[in-house]
Structure 1
Amino acid sequence: MDFSQPHRVLLFFEKGEQWLSATRAIYLAAQWEYYTQLKSEGKVYDCGYPGHGEGLLVGVNIDNDTELHHILAGDPALKGKVLELVNAYPYF
């Protein structure tokens, strides 16, 4: 597969090393707002909570993998280590 072309990626987030921090709710709310904003811009096509436990599932539309790295770099919960990315599943 050539991931330098437009494609979709499913992102799977689970509890990070700061999950038990007192500021967890702030980071999670900011993360939800972040992906909601990206959805309004057409970059996110689905966002929700997994049925198996704590975390987040996000589907993104990206032009290339550089854009994916940029999106992840802006994720508040990743920056705060409240959640961690455990899998990124690309597909066309």
Structure 2
Amino acid sequence: MHRNGMRPIHPGEVLNKEFMEPLGMTVIGLACPRTGPREIEKLVKCQLRICADLAISLATHLDTTPEFWMNLQSTYDLRRAQLRHAGL
């Protein structure tokens, strides 16, 4: 297995550091009827996985694509699995 030495980065961390902080957004500001503030807060705290519906909601609000968010989640999941299999 190829190891890049980087820790797995949760999509919620990317959301917070790359979008919310630079744009001055809050959990309340990003919430919408389909994605409430609790869901956004859990995501930012890395306690929630990105699902397809959440990916679509984030993409709509942040001018990205749902695939961007789904790819972040799958990369995170794969990296964690690789570390588990390597015994790290």
Q: State TM-score, norm by structure 1.
A: 0.31
Q: State TM-score, norm by structure 2.
A: 0.31
Which has the higher relative contact order, 1 or 2, with Cα contacts under 8 A spaced 6 or more apart? 1
